[in-house]
């Protein structure tokens, strides 16, 4: 019998990644595609899965489980994505649609919520490995959190717990993509930071948060937008700390790549904001931008029925997937 492997697919607002990983945690190959929108995003996924099935055959491994992570409001039991604004999806029966692909029809496939599984990955082999109560704040195109209390992920009554990106941080503040005003997301997400910079500076040529961070020493607009974003994060996190009292807050997603430039300033603002309440450690995930991909692979391991095995993988192993010589497609 061929050695086993699983596939983890992480659908982001910008790109989809697929990681083919052995059941021992070794990355065999990874792929990245632009996500597309609406039906086109479904077509991207279908062709990527077919390609990965072929990839598994090429590597001589047996595909034993597939985990697919989607943003938005995802019902994990049925595999339906009720709403994902960035993808233009409403009531998409994602698991059912993907299970109909002939090339992978025999492989157990499960659909999960991206931030929830990034959070489970953080607790399994990331910054929160030994914590029972923690928060994983994903700051990417949008902002959401995976909240874990006494070892269990908070789902909420309708499955939408953790939407902290839509906490109000500025009364009657800037319009958010969600239609509300003053949301944390509007000030501190990747999308929010770039929209606010473009509106303030009149420039449309800064299209990454890394550029914005680099520019803040000489560009006053970049400085103001960044500082206001960090202030908004401090306000949102302060309320989160008062509410759920986490032992550690792990930062994931594109904006967290700002690293110390983010954590030092944010930690100072947060301590000032929190007053008497002590602030838990604020850590950029050692999984770097891999926590979503790691979560997808973990869900694939669960689909294959061997998720316990994944608890022995280290953060170094997992974060190395992105640098694997076989994984160039996903860099």
By CB under 8 A, name the binding residues for its own copies: 131-134, 145, 147, 149-150, 152, 154-164, 166-171, 178-180, 235, 238-240, 242-247, 273-278, 280
Q: Residue 251 Cβ, how far from its own copies at the closest point, in Å?
A: 17
- Residue 254 CA neighbour count, 13 Å, CB half: 22
Q: Least distance in Å: CB of 247 to its own copies?
A: 4
Question: By C-beta, is 39 or 245 nearer to its own copies?
Answer: 245
In the complex, minimum distance from the CB of residue 109 to its own copies, in angstroms, rounded to a whole number: 26
Q: Which residues contact 66 (CB under 8 A, 6 or more apart)?
A: 6, 7, 8, 9, 49, 98, 104, 107, 108, 109, 110, 300, 303
Q: How far is the CB of 200 from its own copies (least distance, A)?
A: 19
Q: For its own copies, which is the closer residue by CB, 43 or 245?
A: 245
Indicate the residue among 224 and 306 with the shorter CB distance to its own copies.
224
Between 128 and 209, whose beta carbon lies closer to its own copies? 128
User: Within 13 A of 297's CA, how many CA atoms are on the CB side?
Assistant: 34
Minimum CB–partner distance for residue 188 and its own copies (Å): 14
Start-end of H helices in the chain: 39-58, 94-99, 114-125, 184-188, 190-201, 209-215, 220-244, 260-274, 291-304, 307-310, 315-320
Cβ closer to its own copies: 144 or 290? 144
- For residues 282 and 267, the answer to whether their CB atoms sit within 8 Å is yes
Both structure tokens of 86? 């960035």
Question: Among 271, 128, 258, which residue's Cα sits nearest to residue 188?
Answer: 258
* Nearest to its own copies of 96, 242 (CB atom): 242
Which residue number, 1 or 171, has a Cβ lying nearer to its own copies?
171
Q: Which are the contacts of 271, defined by CB distance < 8 A and separation ≥ 6?
A: 279
DSSP codes of every residue in 65-89: EEEEEESSEEETTTTEEEEEGGGTE
Measure Cα distances from 152 to 22, 115, 252 in Å.
27, 14, 19
Residue among 168 and 324 whose Cβ is closer to its own copies: 168
Task: Provide the minimum distance between the beta carbon of 253 and its own copies in the complex, in angstroms, as a whole number.
Answer: 18
Work out how close the CB of 300 gets to its own copies at its nearest, in angstroms, rounded to a whole number: 25
- CA 286, 75, 143, 170 dihedral sign is negative
Sheet order of strands, 73-75 included: 73-75, 80-84, 89-92
- Asked whether the beta carbons of 173 and 182 are under 8 A apart, the reply is yes
Please report how close the Cβ of residue 167 comes to its own copies at its closest, in angstroms. Answer: 4
Counted residue by residue, the chain has a size of 331
């Amino acid at each position: 019998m061929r050695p086993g492997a699983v596939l983890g697919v992480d659908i982001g607002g910008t790109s989809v990644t697929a990681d083919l990983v052995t059941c021992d945690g070794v990355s065999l190959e990874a792929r990245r595609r632009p996500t597309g929108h609406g039906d086109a995003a479904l077509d991207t996924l279908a062709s990527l899965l077919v390609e990965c099935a072929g990839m598994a055959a090429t590597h001589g491994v047996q595909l034993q489980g597939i985990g697919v992570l989607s943003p938005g409001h995802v019902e994990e039991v049925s595999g339906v994505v009720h709403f994902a604004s960035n993808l233009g999806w409403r009531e998409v029966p994602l698991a059912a649609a993907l299970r109909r692909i002939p090339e992978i029809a025999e492989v157990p496939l499960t659909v999960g919520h991206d931030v929830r599984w990034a959070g489970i990955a953080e607790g399994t082999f990331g910054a929160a490995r030994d914590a029972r109560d923690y928060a994983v704040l994903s700051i990417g195109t949008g902002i959401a959190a995976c909240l874990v209390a006494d070892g269990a992920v908070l789902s909420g009554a309708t499955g939408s717990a953790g939407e902290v990106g839509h906490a109000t941080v500025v009364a009657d503040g800037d319009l958010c993509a969600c239609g509300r005003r003053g949301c944390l997301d509007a000030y501190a997400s990747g999308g929010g930071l770039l929209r606010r910079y473009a509106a303030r500076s009149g420039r449309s040529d800064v299209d990454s948060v890394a550029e914005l961070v680099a520019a803040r020493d000489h560009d006053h607009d970049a400085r103001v937008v960044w500082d206001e974003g960090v202030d908004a994060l401090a306000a949102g996190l302060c309320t989160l700390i008062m509410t759920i009292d986490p032992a550690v807050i792990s930062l994931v997603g594109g904006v967290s790549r700002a690293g110390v430039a983010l954590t030092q300033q944010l930690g100072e603002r947060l301590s000032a904001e929190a007053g008497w309440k002590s602030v838990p450690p604020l850590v950029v995930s050692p999984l770097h931008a891999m926590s979503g991909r790691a979560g997808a692979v973990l869900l694939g391991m669960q689909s294959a029925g061997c998720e316990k095995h994944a608890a022995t993988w280290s953060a170094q192993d997992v974060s190395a997937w992105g640098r694997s010589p076989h994984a160039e497609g996903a860099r």
